[in-house]
Structure 1
């Protein structure tokens, strides 16, 4: 801060040095000033200027730090003419206050527009779900089994996209839309597997599921969404006649781990740090038009808000292992207390 103050007051220093040089020149050239000590005058001026410089540094830097720490209150005081300012400072601060007010109005307008867009999108998603449900019921009356299977598969893909959009719209308000309770893992896993049955049959993918007797404290709806995104990725990139293995274990800290492993094409090492980034499809995803780069991004963000950690191990050609680590009881207490 001192160097910044010195740079800001270089004009002062330059003027003082110029005046000192003029005085010394006059003392040297003017015979009438021979009886006066030049050194005494220089020291007096230097000491006086140093005290003045230090005083202004303490006052101005103190005001600056206070202003930066309490900017809004300072602007309010300026508006009410309660703060003693120099004419230039008043012009600067009033201009800053006007800019702040303008940006606040723009920010509020943007928030209103975003909320309206979010509400409209949410309403649209709910409207789309009604015909999707009707189509699913009508598919049961299609007699051609092969045609029905293909239609069910396409319906499932459309349903997953709508579901992604629904949860993306609700993500910013997840704190208001979650309910932490004791949840059994088994019913959630089996429900998601049954929902993707048509897709699994088409892909030739089966499941090897452990007993899954564990119970975790979480939100069942959002947990189902996380599992859905991981399972859909596993099915999408698994080879024909392969299995997806699901099991649980308890780690050394007594936290419950849910593992979902496929033997698909795997994720390249250079893509692993970025697979949870928004719209990142990766090297393999670019080869498929079905990849949106949103599934894992949404799953990761939901998991973060629920205190669940997602860890990924993968190797090209050997498949991927996704692990959900559920937080311990004390960590859940922090979640419920937010």
Structure 2
């Protein structure tokens, strides 16, 4: 701040020094003017000027120091009151701008909340005819048509579910309920949801559960599993080897692995696989991928303190790993 203050006042300092130098020059050239008394006067005035600069530095930079140190929030309460007319101009301008930005942000926040509520309401309303449609499909006699319609129904169901959880994700911390969950039963339930799709593709599952219970939130853990299983089934070829799901203990942590034998992930895509909206560089023409499933799974996992990682090879499949937190870490999420 001292360097910037001196740079700001450089022209004034230069004017003062030039005046002092001019006075000494005149005294040295004009013999009628005694040089040493003039030098003494120059010394005194320079000393007073330096003291003046120090006093003005503390007074003039106080306002700007507070501006520099304040955070980016729209709150000017921590800024000291202006002391000069120019500082008043800055303060009034910032206050007016902050008030306008606050009002604009408030209106946008209200609009976003209304849009979110309307979308959630629409999703819940759509679920009713979707449930009725499923009952009608189950009563169909034509097995070929029934399988095809069930598959399309499942796609709509999964997309709505993904959209629903995407809107709930920002307020996920308010919706957590940490408890002991039978992860094996939870996995079977999610597999059952995908049964028609798996039958259509001729894909089975191999389940090995050395650990059957984990401490987490059942609803959000089910959502994460749903995204991983959907991903595994989607990118596995017809009649591919079974998708393997293992749950075991590893260095005090419970680990759940979902391994498929699909097309795999290109090494250059691995660092971006959990990014919002990222699909693939190798399969960029794949219009079926939205790039949201793994992103949402990663975000939900982070809120649950679950480490979600992936290991993959092209044309050899992928392994998604969920590493659960220790029990005391899971309990801390809800402050229990």
Once residues 250 and 43 of structure 1 are traced to their aligned partners in structure 2, the CA distance between those partners, rounded to angstroms, is: 80
CA–CA distance in structure 2, aligned partners of residues 59 and 135 of structure 1: 74
Q: Shift of the alpha carbon at 1:317?
A: 1.4
**Cα offset, 1:64, TM superposition:** 3.1
Count, aligned residues: 331
Structure 1, residues 7-36: CA drift from partner, whole Å, max 9, x if none?
Answer: 222222222222223322332343332344
- Match of 1:210, SS? strand
Residue in structure 1 matched with residue 274 of structure 2 by the alignment:
276
The match for 1:257 among 247, 255, 258 is 255
Q: How does 1:173-322 map to 2 (within 5 A)?
A: 173-211=171-209, 213-241=211-239, 242-252=241-251, 254-322=252-320
Could you report, residue by residue, the CA deviation over 1:264-289 in whole angstroms, capped at 9, with x for unpaired residues?
A: 11111111111111111012442321
**In structure 2, the residue corresponding to 1:33 is in which secondary structure?**
coil
> Could you say which residue in structure 1 is the equivalent of 2:28?
28
- Conserved 8 A contact 2:304-2:333: yes
Q: Check whether the contact 1:208–1:246 (CA below 8 A) recurs between aligned residues.
A: yes
Structure 2 matches for 1:130-209, cutoff 5 A? 130-209=128-207
Return the alpha-carbon distance in structure 1 between the equivalents of residues 205 and 42 of structure 2.
91
Structure 2 length-normalised TM: 0.92
Distance, in Å, in 2 between the alignment partners of 1:29 and 1:103 is: 63
Question: Conserved in 1, the CA contact under 8 Å of 2:177 and 2:334?
Answer: no
Whole-Å Cα distance in 1 between the matches of residues 262 and 37 of structure 2?
Answer: 92
Normalising by structure 1, report the TM-score. Answer: 0.92
The 1:155/1:107 distance shift into structure 2, 3 A limit, reads: same
Q: Deviations over 1:210-238 (max 9, x none)?
A: 13542111110110000000111111111
- Structure 2 vs 1, CA of residues 124 and 156 (structure 1 numbering), >3 Å: closer, same or farther? same
CA contact (8 A) 2:227 2:294 kept: yes
Task: For 1:119-138, list aligned pairs within 5 A.
Answer: 119-138=117-136
1:269 match: secondary structure:
coil
Note the C-alpha offset of 1:68: 4.5
Distance 1:153 1:285 in 2: 23
Contact 2:273 2:294 in 1 (8 A): yes
How far apart are the structure 2 equivalents of 1:86 and 1:58? 13
Q: Assess if the C-alpha contact under 8 Å between 1:186 and 1:212 holds in 2.
A: no
Q: Say which is worse superposed, 15-24 or 197-206, in terms of deviation.
A: 15-24
* Distance change >3 Å, CA 84–CA 194, structure 1 → 2: closer
Structure 1, gaps ≥5 residues long: 78-82
Deviations 1:142-178 (Å, cap 9, x if unpaired)?
2111111111111111111111100001111111112
Helix, strand or coil at the partner of 1:257 = strand
CA contact (8 A) 1:313 1:321 kept: yes
CA apart distance, 1:67: 4.6
Instruction: Give SS of 1:73's match.
Output: coil
Secondary structure at the residue paired with 1:31? coil
Q: Is the 8 A contact 1:278 1:297 kept in 2?
A: yes
Instruction: Output the CA distance in 1 between the equivalents of 2:234 and 2:168.
Output: 25
| Equivalence map 1:2-151=2 (5 Å) | 2-69=2-69, 72-74=76-78, 83=81, 85-151=83-149
Check whether the contact 2:24–2:35 (CA below 8 A) recurs between aligned residues.
Answer: no
Runs of 4+ with deviation above 6 angstroms: none
- In structure 2, distance between residues paired with 1:282 and 1:269: 11
Structure 2 CA distance for aligned equivalents of residues 30 and 201 of structure 1: 110
The 2-side partners of 1:123 and 1:175 are apart by 21
1:80 aligned residue? none
How big is the alpha-carbon RMSD for the aligned residues of Structure 1 and Structure 2? 1.9
Contact 2:63 2:87 survives alignment (8 Å): no
- Provide the C-alpha distance between the structure 1 equivalents of 2:217 and 2:280, rounded to a whole number of angstroms: 30
Q: Is 1:203–1:239's contact at 8 Å kept on the other side of the alignment?
A: yes
Specify whether residues 84 and 239 from structure 1 end up closer, same or farther in structure 2 by C-alpha distance, changes over 3 A only. closer
